[in-house]
């Protein structure tokens, strides 16, 4: 302007052409007071979230927990497999023990019934003395087989009675071996008559054999063969 600079010198605030009353702090258009206090936003760069980028350990923790889960699963599977084979082995051992105990129990039952068998065989012998046809001996047999074995019943003699009532463990002869009929080739001789094989016993002496079962009426014969051929 004519006459030089306005009175009082340049306008406050510095820059050329800045309007009167421009705020201090620099150039045209700058925000009042200059840059925001504290400089650039924290975290680096415009638009970055407060506190900076998220920590880089998130994926590592996920992998760690995944590995632990897989390890636990494998451990559980191995434990189940091991338990299966252990239990299977124990079940087989128990089954074998029960089978042996059952056989021992059957032999014990057969021995315990020798006294009843002595009564039956003595009755056969007495009946056949009166009626050699054996018709009168039917009371000592199961009703369904009485007629079939009538004649064979009268082969009974003193040796027969002694052999089938004496165990061979005594070391004396004649004698007989005794066991449960269950699980033997003679089992069907009992089961075919509707009898429980666990209550039936087979006795053998030489070529002679008989099968007897406990019934409501006492011990009854269900099969006999070669009664006179004991040893």
pLDDT digits (tens, 9 = 90+) for 79-108: 766 665 555 554 444 344 434 444 455 789
Q: What is the DSSP letter of 167?
A: B
Characterize 44-83 residue by residue with b for buried, 16 or more Cβ atoms within 10 angstroms of its Cβ, and e for exposed: eeeeeeeeeeeeeeeeeeeeeeeeeeeeeeeeeeeeeeee
Residue indicated by tokens 């128990």: 94
With the CA atoms of 155, 158, 164 and 170 taken in that order, what torsion angle do they form, in degrees rounded to the nearest 10? -150
User: Which residues are within 8 A (CB) of 28 and not within 5 positions of it... i.e. 6 or more apart?
Assistant: 15, 17, 18, 22
Average pLDDT, the chain: 76
Instruction: Give the count of alpha carbons within 13 A of 193, CB side only.
Output: 24
Q: Which pTM value belongs to this model?
A: 0.57
Question: Is the pLDDT score of 51 beyond 80?
Answer: no
Q: What is the DSSP letter of 230?
A: -
């Amino acid at each position: 302007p004519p006459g030089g600079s306005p009175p009082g010198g340049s306008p406050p605030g510095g820059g050329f052409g800045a309007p009167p009353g421009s705020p201090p702090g620099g150039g045209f258009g700058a925000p009042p007071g200059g840059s925001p206090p504290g400089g650039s936003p924290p975290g680096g760069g415009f638009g970055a979230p407060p506190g900076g980028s998220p920590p880089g350990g998130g994926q590592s923790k996920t992998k760690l927990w995944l590995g632990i889960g897989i390890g636990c699963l494998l451990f559980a599977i191995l434990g189940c497999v091991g338990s299966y084979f252990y239990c299977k082995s124990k079940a087989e051992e128990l089954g074998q023990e029960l089978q042996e105990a059952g056989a021992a129990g059957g032999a014990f039952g057969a021995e315990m019934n020798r006294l009843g068998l002595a009564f039956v065989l003595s009755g056969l012998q007495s009946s056949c003395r009166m009626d050699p046809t054996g018709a009168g001996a039917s009371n000592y047999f199961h009703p369904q087989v009485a007629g079939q074995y009538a004649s064979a019943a009268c082969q009974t003699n003193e040796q027969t009675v002694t052999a089938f009532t004496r165990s061979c463990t005594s070391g004396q002869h004649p004698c007989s071996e005794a066991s449960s009929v269950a699980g033997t080739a003679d089992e069907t001789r009992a089961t075919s008559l509707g009898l429980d094989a666990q209550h039936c016993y087979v006795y053998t002496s030489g070529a002679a054999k008989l099968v007897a079962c406990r019934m409501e009426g006492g011990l009854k014969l269900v099969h006999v063969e070669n009664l006179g051929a004991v040893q």
